[in-house]
Structure 1
Amino acid sequence: MATGEDVDNLPGIKIKLKDIGKVVMDDVHDKVKESGKWPFVVDTVGQVSTFLKYRDTNMINCLEKHDMQPETIRMALIGAMKFGKPFILDMNEADMFQACADKFDEIQKGLIDALLDKSIFKDEKYLSLVKDTDGADYDPGRSPYMVDNFKFVILTTHSRPNENLLKRTYPISII
């Protein structure tokens, strides 16, 4: 369990659990949008995951074998993009970023980087993730993808989160 001092030393903003919806999901003050980065939520108490699980999100739990199957990740990701939902990558208490990046690479080389730097949205590159076998709901010709409402949120309960991720994301610590 982390101490308050651990959280105090992290970069980014500090918020209360009750504000997670306003800050991360709704971005009411446009702080996340203005940063140009996706939120990386550091919750050393471990309550954010439960809160987000019961919202309209597509959540991947990095410690669950089923969730880490490339096809499960791909469908959760394109579903979030199609329907304009948050895609949550919950790393729990472990530094799972490289393991997750490796699984995303099995779907498409460099996918996690394309998500982080948002280049996946240039020229509708995200459509390369869609397969003919995904069904009519995912056919971009039938109805548009709601990527403007899509959010990519990384979540950890680790008290010393991945330094590389802290630099590439908008860190938000729960106090």
Structure 2
Amino acid sequence: MAASRWPLVIDPSGQAATFLRYQDTNYVDTVNPDHMQPERIRLALLGALRYGKPLVFDLREVDLFPAVQRQLEAVQQGLAQELLSRRLLEQDRYLSLLRPTDGPEYGPTQFQESRLAQFRLFFVTQVRWPPAEQLQVLLPVQVQLPSGGL
């Protein structure tokens, strides 16, 4: 069961979010209203699927997991559960996210199994004790910083 859950990186220092922001990821800052627009989330998700990249939702120090779920639902009804359960990756279900205006780089034939297999979803939080619902739905990963100097 744990292996099927996406990680919730618990890092009160914020260093994990900073690290992920500067990697080759599709990064969504959930505190930024522009990042939380349904169309922006849809394109971030599609791009991560298409190019085999991680999609990172940075929840910062606020409990914005319910807001992320609402915005996923605004993209497409049932999307939050489909994504969290990984069902979106089965039987080309992600193709339902495509729109005629997306352009040729997002044509159905542009999605490759090898890249889809590289897709990852991360939630990062600075909240030391996330709500129980998040801990049940996601796989909590606690970041431990070294004590003292290096």
Fold conserved (TM > 0.5)? yes
- Distance (whole Å) between structure 2 residues aligned to residue 81 and residue 142 of structure 1: 10
- Distance (whole Å) between structure 2 residues aligned to residue 68 and residue 136 of structure 1: 25
Establish whether residue 48 from structure 1 lines up as the match of residue 16 from structure 2. yes
TM-score (norm 1): 0.78
- Distance (whole Å) between structure 2 residues aligned to residue 138 and residue 97 of structure 1: 28
Shift of 1:37: 1.5
Q: Which runs of 5+ in 1 are unaligned?
A: 1-32
Counterpart residue type for residue 15 of structure 2: Q
Establish whether residue 170 from structure 1 lines up as the match of residue 136 from structure 2. no
- Distance (whole Å) between structure 2 residues aligned to residue 72 and residue 91 of structure 1: 16
Task: Give the superposed CA RMSD.
Answer: 1.5
Shift of 1:127: 0.7
Shift of 1:162: 2.2
Query: Secondary structure, in 3 states, of the residue corresponding to 1:91?
Result: strand
TM-score (norm 2): 0.90
1:132-152 Cα shifts (integer Å, max 9, x gaps): 111111112245362100000
Q: Which runs of 5+ in 2 are unaligned?
A: 145-150
Query: Secondary structure, in 3 states, of the residue corresponding to 1:59?
Result: strand
Give yes or no for contact 2:50–2:110 (8 Å, CA) kept in 1: no
Aligned-pair identity (%): 35
2:79 maps to which of 106, 111, 121? 111
1:161 maps to which of 112, 130, 136? 130
Give the number of aligned pairs: 143
C-alpha change, 1:92 and 1:142, in structure 2 (3 Å) is closer
